[in-house]
Amino acid sequence: MQMDSERILVTGSAGFIGSHVCGALLSRGARVVGVDNLDPFYDPDRKRLNHDALIGAHPERFVWHEVDITGAGTIETIMRDAGVTGVIHLAAKAGVRPSIEDPGGYALANVVGTQRVLSAASAAGCARVVCASSSSVYGNNTKTPFGEEDSVEHPISPYAATKRACELIGETHHRLTGMAVAMLRFFTVFGPGQRPDLAISLFLERVSRGETISKFGDGTTSRDYTYIDDIVAGVLSAYERIGDHGYRIWNLGGDHPITLNELIGAVERVVGREAVIEQMGMQAGDVDRTWADLSRSRAELGYAPTTSIEDGIARQFAWMRDVGLVGDQGTGA
């Protein structure tokens, strides 16, 4: 897909998924305007490095603005000045557990922030907005795999509730303005650049140093981990095709859920060292399982995840070594 005529504003451009999405858009010829407030949830220097890499590779087609999306007016001005054709909205306070500590902050950034982005986009004449939702909206549903038409009325964390609220706001906004809006339910994303608070990052770092990892629950909880390149392919396809749908929700998962015990085993094999485990109780807000039904996204987006969990973890570990997040301990695999 060539995108030479597109000028796309990406919110959360300095983050894990946002920086990969920007890179993919730029490599397809698009002009990209990044927006990010460098939220201190994790080291803002990591985020600055992400932007520096994008500017270094595409100095003529990437710019970014340090802006908070919850502030009225500014993003609309940025969109108008840049003649933006569409928006990929990834900025959010992410993470289930911290949302229990700061539900108000999550509601502001995620719910108010999403409404501001949608309002600015339609006011600035954008044709489409693709937004990040989350598998967490399925709560503790027991029917698997999770399909887009399943009930999502019982989220179990403030984070999940904000993401469900964003879906409803997106659908309402589409009905009122006609602007095309896609909501993508990402299932735990991993790979180079993964957020440092997520299990695979934490486990790779600690196991490679011989440090203890915390295992929450008995290890039978499961997640449908999704490799970052597969997510990026789904985001770009949704951007290209949402105009045919008006408003649509799509699952983007990996299609191979694994248990926490299996994940720890995969990390041990990649690092070449046995994990030292501290057994903990289940954490509030954590769901028991996730597993994406990909029928709709395969049929409508041509979405087909290709990277296995172990290959993906090995690539993430190699990246962590390259950037100095882990030393040369372990044999790798």
Catalytic residues: 159
Can residue 91 be called a binding residue for ligand NAD (CB under 6 A)? yes
Can residue 116 be called a binding residue for ligand NAD (CB under 6 A)? no
What does the alpha-carbon distance between residue 186 and residue 184 come to, in Å, rounded to a whole number?
Answer: 6
Could you tell me the strand order of the sheet in which 7-11 lies?
Answer: 62-66, 31-36, 7-11, 86-89, 128-134, 180-186, 247-252
Segment interacting with ligand NAD (CB under 6 A) among 24-32, 37-45, 169-177, 214-222: 37-45
Q: Per the structure block, which two tokens stand in for 233? A: 């392919």
Can residue 113 be called a binding residue for ligand NAD (CB under 6 A)? yes
Integer CA distances (angstroms), 119 to 37, 83, 90, 114, 125, in order: 19, 16, 16, 9, 10
Can residue 46 be called a binding residue for ligand NAD (CB under 6 A)? no
From residue 133 to residue 152, the character string flagging contacts with ligand NAD as x (rule: CB under 6 A) and all else as - is: -x------------------
Least Å distance, CB 75 to ligand NAD, is 9
Strand partners, 212: 276
CB nearer to ligand NAD: pick between 124 and 330: 124
What does the alpha-carbon distance between residue 18 and residue 91 come to, in Å, rounded to a whole number?
Answer: 8
CB nearer to ligand NAD: pick between 47 and 215: 47
What does the alpha-carbon distance between residue 240 and residue 135 come to, in Å, rounded to a whole number?
Answer: 22
CB distance 168 to 118 below 8 Å = no
Q: Sign of the C-alpha dihedral, residues 221, 140, 224, 318?
A: negative
What does the alpha-carbon distance between residue 35 and residue 48 come to, in Å, rounded to a whole number?
Answer: 12
CB nearer to ligand NAD: pick between 152 and 330: 152
Residues between 17 and 36 with contacts to ligand NAD, criterion CB under 6 A: 17-18, 35-36
Can residue 79 be called a binding residue for ligand NAD (CB under 6 A)? no
Helix, strand counts (H, E) of the chain: 12, 13
Q: Please select the residue that binds ligand NAD; options are 12, 155, 253, 285, rule is CB under 6 A.
A: 12
Least Å distance, CB 210 to ligand NAD, is 27
Residues between 185 and 204 with contacts to ligand NAD, criterion CB under 6 A: 186, 188-189, 195
What does the alpha-carbon distance between residue 141 and residue 154 come to, in Å, rounded to a whole number?
Answer: 8
Can residue 15 be called a binding residue for ligand NAD (CB under 6 A)? yes
Least Å distance, CB 29 to ligand NAD, is 23
Can residue 37 be called a binding residue for ligand NAD (CB under 6 A)? yes
Q: Please select the residue that binds ligand NAD; options are 24, 88, 94, 263, rule is CB under 6 A.
A: 94
Can residue 69 be called a binding residue for ligand NAD (CB under 6 A)? yes
Least Å distance, CB 11 to ligand NAD, is 6
Instruction: Please confirm whether the linkage preceding 192 is cis (ω < 30° from 0).
Output: no
**DSSP 8-state symbol, 129:** E
Q: Which spans of this chain sit near ligand NAD (rule: CB under 6 A)?
A: 11-12, 14-18, 35-39, 41, 47, 68-70, 90-94, 109, 113, 132, 134, 186, 188-189, 195
